[in-house]
Amino acid sequence: MSGIAETRADPSPALPPDPAQPLPWWRSVENLAVVIVLAAMTSLPLVDILFRWFGRPGLAGSASFVQHLTLLAGVIGGALAARDNRLLSLSAATTFLKGRWRDWARFGSGAFAAAISTVLALASAQFVLFEREGGNTLAYGIPVWWVQAFLPLGFAAVALRLWLHASDRWRGRAAALLLAAALVGLAVWTPVAPARLLWPALGLLFLATLAGAPVFVTLGGAALILFWSDGLPLASIPLDHYRLVTNPTLPTIPLFTLAGYFLAEGGASRRLVRVFQALVGARHGGPAIVTALVCAFFTSFTGASGVTILALGALLMPVLLAARYSERASLGLLTSSGSLGLLFPPCLPLILYAIIAKVGISEVFLGGMAPGLLLVAATAWWGWRQAPRLEAEQRRFDASEAARAIWEARWELLLPVVALGSLLSGLATPVEAAALTAGYAFVVETFVYRDLRLIRDVPRVMTECGLLVGGILLILGVALGFTNYLIDAQVAAHAVEWATANIHSPLVFLIMLNFFLLLVGCLMDIYSAIVVVVPLIVPLGLAFNVDPVHLGILFLANLELGYLTPPVGMNLFLASYRFGKPLTEVARAVLPFVGLRLVVVLLITYVPALTTTLPQWFKPS
């Protein structure tokens, strides 16, 4: 039998067990590096809060250090995601194809992805050399280019790992290396005018995407090809990457994600399930209501990344089956609820939309509350309607059990108060609030409940968080380069001109926008969609007097449907993996929820007061 298993059985002492993986000591070094970076990102804002509490100025350059530590977290985390072959892909071809077809898909997509990553590394090196001449420094005289130099190193590491994963055999890897080198050589020393190769290059990119190339390769490759064909400097793509990743507000994404990971890996899921089970589990349809509430709570901190399904699936599926819900109904409820808290603060897509659309984070947080509650209520209603009429055992509400459950989970139930209270009260900046939340979750899970051991568990949890954050930031950085090309090509301006000339009713505009966003949700993951699409639709919304906060919640509610629709429905793939069910069976199970959420999306669209009322109430006078 060929493949990884055969390679691992190779007794040769000259090779590690898996040639696609680094030596164990180097793996530990990489893991430790991302742990140190995330720890520093959490600690520096907390030190600033502490100094301010005692009436002293914070550390010099603290905010700038945290921004550049975000760059390091993205670079190292992206290399880890490539190392473990966990970069997000728009296609599941390598999962469903068999035999030689699967090998050829891996080979082609891996070689092409390695070539794109290599060109990105070369472009990043040009960017760093240019920035070095500028002589900019961080605090304490540290040159900025020292940190920026990790960009080409990171892309090079990703390219190396994509190449290694292109085949299980060294013969296949050698062929992939030759193909990748040929593609890079063609890009650098092409004898043909690049403009004439635009469509063939985009065609190759499309085929590589279908074969399973990562999302960042699709978006970064599109940006590279478009810039290259127009004769524009490729160094502008890593420049855009650097500008986005070092945005003053962007550190909130890895920090809130870290808080979510501490919750998911600790015992929070068990305690929170007990709380909601005690409060509403005894009612008709209670297990389904518990599922909706617990998943919404978790997703608001884990960022609709699929962690909710993985962390809660094993706990909630037996609860639903024991309550005599059918297996299909249980599967559909858990799969759809995995993204249910996407509109609740401090969920990551809300933060990213605020950054890209240049809207206040607190306004977006408040705007998502009522629509988020409506989605939870709709899901709970469905669970109530689908509950078996003759339950095996009806229980009365047990006030003492509810009190005990709440008391046991009191520290985790306070987490939203810590996150939102510190932010909305003005006592902390968004980054400080995120660091405070991450620090609080760490202390609670490690020292209060002692579910995580400081040496054995915490580094593992932080490494997993860094891997997820790195994969996301890798996508966001290259996606901005693609977006800026579209803006420079005046795509947004032309869209506004066409829309205002041909659409005369805001109602018609919103109908067309919904259709467009549903299509986007079927074809793009939510993070790249925010970076690519939001700059294009915000001017359109302004042209039709659509409030930017309303537009953002409408956008995210549509994209939330994308988690349940093929071909990019992430929750479908995760549920298929988590529960061992065929993808087609999962897709059939979520059909009622797709229809239900579509109705809610229409309500959010055409009743803007759902979104705009809270931000207007709390708007500073």
Q: Which pair of structure tokens corresponds to residue 150?
A: 């990790």
pLDDT class of 523 with cuts at 50, 70, 90? confident
Question: Given its phi and psi angles, is residue 3 left (phi above 0), alpha (psi -120 to 50 degrees) or beta?
Answer: left
pTM for the complete prediction? Answer: 0.86
Q: Which pair of structure tokens corresponds to residue 7?
A: 């390679």
The pLDDT of residue 279 is 87
Q: Which of 573, 480, 474 is nearest to 80 (CA)?
A: 474
pLDDT class of 151 with cuts at 50, 70, 90? very high
d(CA 155, CA 70): 16
Tell me what the mean pLDDT of segment 120-140 comes to.
Answer: 90
d(CA 14, CA 12): 5
Q: Which of 278, 226, 248, 235 is nearest to 485 (CA)?
A: 226
Single-letter amino acid code for the residue at 235: A
Q: What single-letter DSSP state applies at residue 191?
A: S
Tell me what the mean pLDDT of segment 95-122 comes to.
Answer: 90
The pLDDT of residue 620 is 55
- pLDDT above 50 for 4: no
**Half-sphere exposure of residue 238, counting CA atoms within 13 Å on the CB side?**
30
Q: Which pair of structure tokens corresponds to residue 560?
A: 């939330």
Q: 3-class SS at 14?
A: coil
d(CA 353, CA 535): 10
Q: Which pair of structure tokens corresponds to residue 320?
A: 């639903």
Task: Give the long-range contacts of residues 99-107, CB within 8 A, separation 24 or more.
Answer: 103/167, 103/172, 104/211, 105/211, 105/212, 106/165, 106/166, 106/167, 106/211, 106/212, 107/166, 107/167, 107/172, 107/175, 107/176
The pLDDT of residue 557 is 92
**Half-sphere exposure of residue 534, counting CA atoms within 13 Å on the CB side?**
31
Single-letter amino acid code for the residue at 487: I
Single-letter amino acid code for the residue at 182: A
Domain boundaries, the chain: 10-245, 252-456, 477-617
- pLDDT above 70 for 499: yes
Strand partners, 137: 143
d(CA 67, CA 37): 11
Question: Given its phi and psi angles, is residue 139 left (phi above 0), alpha (psi -120 to 50 degrees) or beta?
Answer: beta
Of 395 and 255, the one with more pLDDT: 255
- pLDDT above 90 for 109: yes
Q: Which pair of structure tokens corresponds to residue 364?
A: 């977006």
Q: What single-letter DSSP state applies at residue 86?
A: -
d(CA 329, CA 350): 29
d(CA 421, CA 440): 13
Strand partners, 143: 137
d(CA 269, CA 277): 12
N-term to C-term CA, the chain = 71
**Cis amide linkage into residue 346, ω under 30° from 0:** yes
Mean pLDDT of the chain: 86
Whether the CB-CB separation of 574 and 393 falls below 8 Å is answered with no
Tell me what the mean pLDDT of segment 249-255 comes to.
Answer: 90
- pLDDT above 60 for 5: no
The pLDDT of residue 596 is 92
- pLDDT above 80 for 589: yes
d(CA 534, CA 24): 42
